[in-house]
Amino acid sequence: MTMMGNAGRHSAIAAVLALATLLSACAAPRGAAGVASAPPPAAPVEVAILAFNDFHGNLEPPRQSVVTPDGQGGTAQVPAGGAAWLASALDALRARHPNSMTVAAGDLISASPLASSLFLDEPSVEVLSRLGLDYAAVGNHEFDRGTKELLRMQAGGCEKLTAREPCQLERFAGARFRYLAASTLAAGGTPLFPASAIRTFGSGAGQVKVGVIGLTLRGTPSLVNPSGIADLTFADEADTINAEVPKLKAEGADAVVVLIHQGGKASGTPDPNGCAGFDGEILPILQRLSGAVDVVVSGHTHADYICDLPTSDPARRVLLTSAGLYGKELTEITLTIDPGQHRVTARSARNLIVQSQPFTSAKGPVALSPLVPAYAPRADIAAYIQRYVDASKAFATRPVGKLSGSAGKAEGAAGGPLGNLIADAQLAATRSAGAQIALMNPFGIRAAIVPAADGTVTFGDIYLAQPFGSALITESLTGAQIKAVLEQGFDDIGPDQALAPSKGFAYRIDRRAPLGSRITAITLGGKPLDPAAQYRVTMNGFLALGGDGFTVFKAGRDAVTGPTDIEALEALFRSAPRLDVPVEERVTAG
């Protein structure tokens, strides 16, 4: 029986082995050479990066347009902006892209309209969170109220850190998006906020990871009140990015996106998607940038562009984007990522205009355009914003005076009629401090003043033009120092900027002259300025601290602090039944 049992067992084992061989053959198809085939490669994964920059608390449509080619060799104006419309544009893009994230390149708050700034930009942070923003770089304006207040913007709470009361309408919850600040270093050399983050899309063999680095511009200390950032240092942008890229790659990042609050401008015919004649302070950063960076989302210059530019690696170029300002545009960036090769195989970008509602500009009506889609405002966002608009109306609708017509900035880097009007207001408000001259920086003028049909100007109108609330400083400068500070507007270091002077002061610009000799024919009351004489000069506190590169102001003596810029402008309106818009004849070009 034992021998017969063994034979039976051997027969059973043979049968099992034969069956296993057959099943194995069925489970593993073989090629022509009898070798098992490799599994097919994972399909490419498409990821959309939806980006904007320089929102500046513009919850409502900013009464501005985007200039775009009209398809017939000319251009057209498209009314754009407003957070409720931006929400609808984002929703439409997300519906087309199953894999997406939303990012921003800084200056989301501060220099904001009343509905946001009266409430310390808390409603803007809440709205951006409701829009689904994921990551944001820290811009220079995020530091306008100091480091501690910026930390409150992220963490929430109602601690009073400024002159204004926090949490006036509701308890502030803080940002549900993550600020990134790789180059902004606190005591000890650690970043104020996380340097980077990684977002994962898909799963299994089709999983891809996108690394995001956020940082502000190194020149931030010259753009904000130094006392508010005394505990911070700002590291070199390119060095910071290049040090962070290997860390992200080590964590499995298949693509690297940089959010940086620095930029440039294209020239020629306006085109939201153009890059012709591109120049700016972002270029030296890109030229030193690691070739492993795929996309740079930029800002700061308030310009719109889509560029493909070289990095430090001649074989690798980077996609550079910017979506203008105030939420008027939205950049749709599409990355095709190969999960097997762990790299981006294709990329593209376009700026979409967030068309909202018509308005009347200083130059006339701006109607809806058939050239681009029109979005409907998202109801929940519009309702939330309306709470803050209603709460600010007592300030915004209060009449302050009348104006003979619309007053705006000049084209380019000059203050124009509005710059002159502001300078006149600042001179009048500081005569008691001995002021003889007032100078206003054009980049500090945010919007034109457009009166109602009867000429009425409201506090909301003048606040749109000057939202900073900067104290005026009157100090003594020699004639030589005044010339030197005017020359700094054309020193080839930053963008050209002709300081707008008060009535009675004039000068001429010759851009063809050698550096340091471009300002001529400086007069006060029709007489040449005496280089050796002392003059009392008024400027806003930002300029007095050397802001916008006008460092000569820091050498002034016997400084006296006066009212705020907005108080001075309101006082000028109240000083006469109707103000005339100044003619631009104080600054001329050679």
Q: Tell me the residue ranges of DSSP E strands in 40-95.
A: 45-52, 64-69, 75-80
Cα 169–175–176 angle (5° rounding)? 120
Side chain identity at residue 498, one-letter code: A
The whole-angstrom separation of Cα 366 and Cα 375 is 16
pTM here?
0.80
Residue 411 pLDDT > 80: no
- Band (pLDDT 50/70/90 cuts) for residue 21 is very low
Residue 414 pLDDT > 90: no
Segment 459-479, tens digit of pLDDT? 999 998 998 888 899 999 999
Contacts of residue 62, defined as CB under 8 A and 6 or more positions apart, other chains included, come to 81, 82, 113, 326, 328, 447
- Band (pLDDT 50/70/90 cuts) for residue 35 is low
Domain definitions of the chain by residue range: 45-384, 397-589
CA distances for 541 relative to 51, 431, 437, 440, 590, angstroms? 33, 17, 15, 11, 30
Check if 45-384 and 397-589 are the same fold: no
Segment 375-382 mean pLDDT? 98
| From the candidate CATH numbers 3.90.780.10, 3.40.640.10, 3.40.50.880, 3.40.50.12780, the one assigned to the domain spanning 397-589 | 3.90.780.10
Segment 501-523, tens digit of pLDDT? 999 999 999 999 999 999 999 99
Q: What does the DSSP 8-state code read for residue 513? A: S
Residue 13 pLDDT > 50: no
Determine the pLDDT at residue 20: 41
Mean pLDDT, the chain, rounded, equals 91
Residue 10 pLDDT > 90: no
Segment 38-89, tens digit of pLDDT? 677 889 999 999 999 999 999 999 999 999 999 999 999 999 999 999 999 9
Q: Which architecture, in CATH terms, is 45-384?
A: 4-Layer Sandwich (3.60)
Determine the pLDDT at residue 316: 94
Among 294-308, 407-421, 508-522, name the one with the lowest average pLDDT.
407-421
Residue 561 pLDDT > 60: yes
Determine the pLDDT at residue 1: 35
